[in-house]
Amino acid sequence: MAYRKQLRTVTGTTCSAFRCRFRRRFAALAICSLLATPLAATDQALPTIGGLGGGLISEQQEAEIGRQVMGSIRRSAPRIQDPLVADYLESMVHRLLPSVPLGDKHLTLVLIDSPDINAFAVPGNIVGVNGGLFLYARSEQQFGSVIAHELAHLSQRHFARRLEQQETNAPLAIAGMVTGIILSAVTKSDVGLAAIAGTQALSIQNMLQYSRAHEQEADRIGLDIMADAGFDPRGMPAMFETMMRQNRLQGNQPPEYLSTHPLTQSRVSDTRSRAEQYPITQVADRLEYHLVRARLQAHYATTPEHGVAFFERRTAGTPIGESPADHYGLAVAYLGNRRPAEAESTLRQLLAHQPGRITYQVTLAEALLAQERATEANALMHEALGRNPENAPITDMLARTELADGNARAASGYLRTLIRQYPERENLWLRLAEAEGQARNIVGVHEARAEYAILMGDLESAHRQLLEAQEKAPPGTPSYQSLSSRLNEVSQALAKRRR
């Protein structure tokens, strides 16, 4: 489980013709100008890895770009905070990561709350996924192929290698542009356009010419990653074909993923040909993928009523044992439609078939909380945690049930357990501040608010909160010393920023 601990998850409007052209042009240029398409399928040798020993941009500079990008995403991009979805994504990356030729395996995973197909990889080992990717990837093999492709880009440091061909561009000056492109893609608003306008544009022609080799390299390495990790590499061309079908259906408004990851038939054919060279293996999807997919299908339903109708049609006359994911989706849709009693009934039937499945147990606790039965939900989660120590979704739900049951101090303890595992999930710090407030731990409230402000890039607010906490903490205690140390770090960061 060492690799699991190295992962950190931090889980449209219309526009004028000019803005739409501007956004699409720059999105195609750069989020993944890392990720543009090869001109044609060839058997040329893979490019050598460039710049890894210290070229124009260092790994430390990439990390700084990543921190800036993450701060902007936290402030502006809608994200999925669902612990069940985050836990699945983490488990997927955990399965792939040992097969990735990546020196630093500390990743930050970002879940964007959008029904569009999209994924991206940016400096600082950040991998982002739209919720919509689950909707369009019909199998776990297809979903895994996109993640493997993004990890391949990171492993080859394509961003750094691309900048080394653009020697007139200062690496940190690129952070604003990368941020703007990401925000334009994921928010579909003008938030990102201002960031792009304030930075130096790169040469479109040079960028695309250089990145074609990178995209081909990522396809090939991604196939190797999949095969080595026990996935079926044929999932990659299958996913590409799904994207091309969607592109044809949407006509002149292609999926966002294809504006930054353009596909050609030659690329699909090349990937299919390469995938067929791997041994044929029968790789079964895990049920968990389809449960999470159903959960998001309910989440993205046009209305709660439509979500219920969709899953009622899919489950009509079908025993639970034959289509558990669809029945689970119906339970989630019932919850979204404020019918928790029906959700509870369906979930108990699912648990009768698989008593230990964590996803069913956590969702049943959601249904019980919706019926104001916090004590029952709390008991259910305590029992589940006893069988699955340190499980993140169970611990997260326990924090909710304890708080709902009036046990704020216990809720605070579970949230601190999660924060030790995922210190960059800013929503946990907000919830901790709420729990500490209810537990009347004022020092803890200020401390949690300070950490939240740091993650949001608001160092002034963090400084104020830490001063408040330090004033209220007993001098000479470990808490006082810890606060003083953190205050000193923030003060130094503020002074550096003001220089």
Provide φ and ψ at 130, rounded to 5°.
-75, 145
Distance, CA of 386 to CA of 380 (rounded, Å): 10
C-alpha span between 413 and 478 (Å, rounded): 18
Closest CA relative to residue 36, chosen from 282, 267, 330, 197: 267
Is-catalytic flag, 270? no
CB atoms within 10 A of CB 155: 22
From 82, 113, 150, 326, the catalytic residue: 150
On whether 153 is known to bind a ligand per the annotation, the reply is yes
Known catalytic residue at 150: yes
The secondary element (H helix, E strand) that includes residue 362 is: helix 358-370
Q: Are 285 and 88 in contact (CB under 8 A)?
A: no
Structure tokens at 176: 């604003």
Name every residue whose Cβ is closer than 8 Å to that of residue 90 and which is 6 or more positions away in sequence. 4, 7, 9, 109
d(Cα 176, Cα 449) in Å, to the nearest integer? 26
Catalytic entry in 217, 219, 402, 468: 219
Give the strands of the sheet with 126-130, arranged side by side.
7-9, 107-112, 126-130, 119-122
Q: Phi/psi at 306 (nearest 5 deg)? A: -65, -35
Would you say 149 is a known binding-site residue?
yes
Gap between the Cα atoms of 262 and 7, Å rounded: 29
Return d(Cα 272, Cα 261) in angstroms, integer.
17
Output the six-digit token pair for 214.
Answer: 């990178």
Q: Which two tokens stand for residue 55?
A: 């070229």
440-470 b/e with 16+ CB inside 10 Å = b? ebebbbbbbbbbbbbbbbbbebbbbbbbbbb
Measured torsion, CA atoms of residues 189, 190, 196, 197, in degrees rounded to the nearest 10: 160
φ and ψ at 7, to 5 degrees? -100, 145
Instruction: Give the up-direction half-sphere exposure of residue 339: CA atoms within 13 A in the CB hemisphere.
Output: 15
For 122, other C-beta atoms within 10 Å of its C-beta total 29
**Do 308 and 343 meet the contact criterion of CB atoms below 8 Å apart?**
no
Tokens of 90: 């983490």
Q: With contact defined as beta carbons under 8 Å apart, do 271 and 310 qualify?
A: no
**Residues assigned a catalytic role:** 150, 219
* Residues in binding site for Zn(2+): 149, 153, 215
* Residues in binding site: 149, 153, 215
